[in-house]
Amino acid sequence: MVKKTQPHGTLRTGMGGWNFAPWRGVFYPEGLTQKRELEYASQHVTSIEINGTYYRAPAPEVYRQWAATVPDGFLFSVKAPRYIVQKKALAETKEQVSRFIEGAAALGDRLGPVLWQFLPTRTFDPGDIAAFLDLLPEKVDGMPLRHAVEVRHESFLDPRWLELARGRGVATVYTDSPDYPNLADLTGPFVYARLMRSQANRKTGYTAAALAEWATRAATWTSGGDPDDLPHVGQPQPRETPRDAFIYFISAAKERNPAAAMALGHAAGIA
């Protein structure tokens, strides 16, 4: 009898952005022009989180240019602008949310999750947060959208946040941050992790043992599981259906993040 293999979602690993001077001569080969850095990066990782959109949302033609530069199957995640997520009343951002999403839609089938990063000072206000989540569209131009919210205040360590996010299919970002509260509770149909502990004295940012641990967690996530060795507010919630997972190496020793993303991809068997 042939043993059936457990289906898995797709794992994507990457880093934040692609223009970073310390990567030149370390990640990027000597002599590579800056205009070709995105092309090169997209051939070595499977996703990139666009951070620059936090400060300024580009014109649709810029998004289209980025989409045309990367290979088939590559996905960008897009960080929402600060003029939205820093507004005192999130419930009042409908027009700004719509305008930003309509612009990002120019990425076409290269558009992955949309990241909404809250300030560390934003506390959990159930009414305002619920109203904001209701503003996030499920589709744009006929394309399904995936939304991930990064919370940075301990007041979100609350079962009511989990209930709100799960009710709207919004993923909660797991940050592995040394500075902010961490919660690995799965609230959406996909996983979004931002790992922030790269070390400058290691070529791959993390030890081989640490990367192996993350590869194991990634396999658990993509098979539908919920790693119980990460901090949770509620009980882990595994399910039978697989999940896609996006794991980015962010901040810390940024010069090591591309190598960390590639090393994790190799450890997880996707590179």
> How confident is the model over 169-194, as pLDDT tens digits?
999 999 999 999 999 999 999 999 99
240 pLDDT band (50/70/90 cuts)?
A: confident
Give the pLDDT confidence score for residue 4 in this predicted structure: 44
pLDDT, residue 222, reads 97
Distance CA 234, CA 250 (A): 26
| pLDDT(99) > 80 | yes
- Please tell me the chain's helix, strand, coil percentages from 3-state DSSP, rounded to the nearest 5: 35, 15, 45
Structure tokens at 57: 């949302």
For residue 88, which of 132, 146, 148 has the smallest C-alpha distance? 132
Task: List the domains of the chain with CATH numbers.
Answer: 11-267 (3.20.20.410)
pLDDT at 1: 35
The runs of H, that is alpha helices, within the chain are 37-42, 60-69, 82-85, 94-104, 126-135, 159-167, 208-222, 257-267
Q: Does residue 6 have a pLDDT over 80?
A: no
Residue 7, pLDDT score:
78
232 vs 250: CA distance, rounded Å: 21
Q: pLDDT tens-digit profile of 190-239?
A: 999 999 999 999 999 999 999 999 999 999 999 999 999 999 999 998 98
The C-alpha atoms of residue 93 and residue 161 are separated, in whole angstroms, by 20
Q: What is the pLDDT of residues 127-178, one digit of tens each?
A: 999 999 999 999 999 999 999 999 999 999 999 999 999 999 999 999 999 9
Residue 5: pLDDT band with limits 50, 70, 90: low
pLDDT in tens, 25-43: 999 999 999 999 999 999 9
pTM as predicted: 0.96
Per-residue confidence band for 3, with pLDDT thresholds at 50, 70 and 90: very low
